[in-house]
Structure 1
Amino acid sequence: MEQLEGRILYEDNHLIVVNKRGGELVQGDKTGDRTLADLVKEYLKVTYNKKGNVYLGIPHRLDRPTSGLVIFAKTEKALVRMNELFKGNTVKKTYWAIVDKVPNETEGTLLHYIIRDTKANKSVALPVEKQKGKLAKLDYRLIAASKTYYLLEVQLHTGRHHQIRAQFAAIGLHIKGDLKYGFPRSNPDGGICLHARSISFVHPVRKEELTIVADPPQDTLWDAFLSQL
Structure 2
Amino acid sequence: MSRREPASYPAVPILFEDNHVLGVTKPVNIPSQEDATGDPDMLTILKQDIKERYDKPGNVFLGLVHRLDRPVGGAMVFAKTSKAASRLSEAVRSRSFRKQYVAVVHGVPAKTSGRLVNMLYKDAKTNTVHVTSKGTDGAKEAILDYTVLQAAEGVSLVLIELHTGRPHQIRVQLSHAGHPLFGDQKYGSKVNKAGQQIALWSVLVGFPHPVTKEDISIRSMPPSVYPWSIFNMDQLGST
Relative to the length of structure 1, the TM-score reads: 0.93
Matched-pair contact (CA < 8 Å) for 2:123–2:129: yes
Matched, 1:214 2:220: yes
Mapped contact 1:144–1:228 kept (Cα < 8 A) = no
Give, as a single letter, the amino acid of the residue that structure 1 aligns with 2:161.
Answer: Q
Of structures 1 and 2, the one scoring higher in RCO (CA 8 A, sep 6+) is 1
CA pair 205-228 structure 1, distance change in 2 beyond 3 A: closer
Q: Deviations over 1:60-84 (max 9, x none)?
A: 1111011111111111111111111
1:84 aligns with 2:90: yes
How much does 1:4 deviate?
Answer: 2.7
CA distance in 2, matches of 1:187, 1:17: 29
CA RMSD between the two structures: 1.7
Give, in whole Å, the separation in 2 of the partners of 1:104 and 1:29.
39
Corresponding position of 1:114: 120
1:50 to 46, 51, 56: 56
Aligned partner of 1:29 in structure 2 is: 35
Give 1:3's aligned residue. Answer: 10
Q: Is the 8 A contact 1:111 1:135 kept in 2?
A: yes
Matched, 1:185 2:193: yes
Unaligned runs of 5+ in 2: 1-6
Q: List alignment gaps of at least 5 residues for structure 1.
A: none
**Superposition map of 1:136-147 within 5 A:** 136-147=142-153
Count residues in correspondence. 226
> What is the CA deviation profile of residues 173-199 of structure 1, one whole-angstrom value per residue up to 9, with x for unaligned ones?
1111111002421445xx411111101
Q: Does the 8 Å CA contact 1:126/1:170 hold for their aligned counterparts?
A: no
* Contact map agreement 2:199 2:227 (CA 8 A) in 1: no
Look up the SS of the partner of 1:49 in the other structure: coil
**Does the aligned pair in 1 maintain the 2:119–2:140 contact within 8 Å?**
yes
C-alpha offsets along residues 101-121 of structure 1, whole Å, 9 cap, x if unaligned?
111212111111001111111
Cα-to-partner distance string for 1:199-226 (whole Å, 9 max, x where unaligned): 1111011110111111112314313313
Q: Does structure 1 residue 148 correspond to structure 2 residue 162?
A: no
Query: What is the aligned-residue identity percentage?
Result: 38
- Read off the aligned partner of 1:193 and give its amino acid letter: A
CA contact (8 A) 2:120 2:139 kept: yes
Query: Within 2, Cα distance between the matches of 1:54 and 1:128?
Result: 43
- Structure 1 runs of 4+ aligned residues shifted over 2 Å read 1-5, 126-132, 226-229
Does structure 1 conserve the Cα–Cα contact (< 8 Å) formed by 2:16 and 2:218?
Answer: yes
Question: Are 1:22 and 1:192, in contact at CA under 8 Å, matched by a contact in 2?
Answer: no
1:75 maps to what in 2?
Answer: 81
Q: How far off is 1:146 after superposition?
A: 1.2
